[in-house]
Structure 1
Amino acid sequence: MTEERFRSADAVVVEGSMDDRLYLIVEGRAESSTIGTSGIVPLATLGPGELFGEISLLEPGSRRRSTITALEPLLLLGLHAEDFRQALDAHPEARSASEKLADDLLVTKLLKQASPFATLDGERLRRLAARLEHLEVSSGETIIRRGETGEECYVLRSGRVEVISGGTQGDERSLATLDPGSLFGEAALLTDGSRNATVRAIEPCTLLALRRTDLLEVLGEDRQTRERMLELVRMRDRPRRVRGIEVHHRTTITGETITTLKDPRRDANHRLSPAGWFVWQRLDGEQTLRDLTSEYLTTHEASPSHAVVEAVVGLVAAGFVEGVKPSPEVIAEESTLWQRARAAIRRILE
């Protein structure tokens, strides 16, 4: 092994690059990070006695999976790939342990990149990763079926899946294609509802399954993760108009048109804002809040970006729209949930 020194803020290895060494930290601290959908995602802080760089060496020709940056002056011992592989060949038990460690690190990285879990610290990430079940599914296999209840959500480790609306082959419509790192199936675990879409593999996939009880435990321990998860559920929700609602229009003496909804079964009324009327006509259970917001801003450029969210939140609260209702296990007071969800969604859209 050879000694190498790096100054604070130096990049020791860069994600995506080729390198033929692993390193042992003798002195100093370093940060491991990766590129996520919203920028740089810190993965872990490394200190004396810890190794890094071994994952890419276990697979000849592979690239670095993360960037390592010195947080303070570093003294490292470097070992070349060929020497590392010879040592593993001479000690099969060490190879097995190294491969297991590398797999655990990759799973932890994948969780950290999945938006709801990005705020978890290293210890919680490792505990969560240990509870995941690895599943292999074939191309064309249905993973989640619309209308069924669910006890697991999934992180897509490899492959691609398609999110589909409709219950039969004849009326199916593709809603989205998900790539590795995507989380799906969480909505049914956090609400009292059933699966709101079908998810089918469009190529062989590896999934990481997380049980409802484990997910709720994570959400109970970490407020930021809980809020991110609720935010994600809201933006993926596909609200639908309650049936049997009457729509009434009247024009004021100033020429303003006022639209009011009436539910004759409850003798309840709800006045719509202009954004509310726009949304009401499109609440068919097929479009997400993000879809509705994008369409609204395309035709109402000067309007505030949160107008659609405010309209939907008001309609659900008044009982005129069927939306996601969080399980009591997730949030005790629904009014508090609405405040959190509304604030979180505003932050995304603004």
Structure 2
Amino acid sequence: MGHAHRHDRRGEVARRRHLVPARTLNIMLEPQSLRHFSPLDALSETGLGQAAEAMTVQRLGVGGELFRKGERDHAVYFLLSGRVALRSDPASAPLYIEADTDAAHVPLSRLKPRRYTAIAATPVEVAVIDEDLLDNLLTADQTTAYEVTEISGEDPEWMFRLICDPAFAKIPSHNFAILFSRLETVEVPDGEVIVRQGEIGDYYYIIRQGKADVWRAYDGDDATKVAQLGAGDTFGEEALLSGEPRNATVVMAGAGKLMRLAQADFDTLLKPPLVHRVDPGTAAILVGAGARFLDVRSESEFREFSLPSSVNLPLGNLRGLAEQLDPRRKYITVCESGRRASAAAFLLGQRGFDVCVLEGGLIPVFNNGNS
């Protein structure tokens, strides 16, 4: 019921086209080494540490390309060493940016679409961070740290870890200020049942400290442990999105601390950014461009009727099998009414997939003779 496998957007912004291939280095930046960069200089010690943790470091040889003019990518580049040439067009004289100079204290060609093509004029190293993660970090650090400390009574480091989590990368920055004011802290003892299979859902949960076991009973059999969740994992969203009873029981495996969000706040703050809907006409255009219908009904329902070329992955199996999906492909989730498809889109959106929901579900499509 929680997200344990996540498609990391840090890897996405690190993969780019290069005339000379770049190497992504397996190193952790020292936070203080980033203090002289803007806007990182506005972050607190905690925020700067989280920024450093979210970054990747790339090394390029002479001629390596960072980005091209006109691109609308999601990467922010900070020049750590070397010299980069920025060209607005092939015939123009390049603008050179050298590390440790005033010009290098700001990100390289920050505006999108890119106004320049950036080429390594010498061997260079750059720090790369996703622009949404950076924006969320800056917003939380500058506007909500005091509020969160007031709510929790503790250091807000957990807040920054949540913001840096790729599962929340699509949440608008301004939503975090409200989110942290609406989250309720719950201290829970060992063995506490947090949600029970078959009951109606009312809260969305984030594990802040501790672990929880997920148990599921099938067809009246005894419950079986199917997963264990840890700090940073979430659960409870399926019942809120689908309107169906809880499909598993979650029990604390030791004392811990949870943050919970009421359904009304969940629907307002988290659901819209992660559940995007498209009408059948738009869906058909997307499929023509390479998207795939993902039918999240049961296998028996899928056999009864389905859209051509759709793939069946029942909602109950989605967490365990999501990693088998192609992260480069866009998916359109479908079910009869759209409720289960919404839950699936939320789960996949948390894992970094490009996903939307077929508005209204399958029934109107088949009633209109579009099968």
- Identify the TM-score tier after normalising by the shorter chain: 0.3 to 0.5
Q: Which is bigger in relative contact order (C-alpha 8 A, separation at least 6)?
A: 2
Q: Between Structure 1 and Structure 2, whose CA radius of gyration is higher?
A: 1
Write 1 or 2 for the structure with the bigger share of strand.
Answer: 1
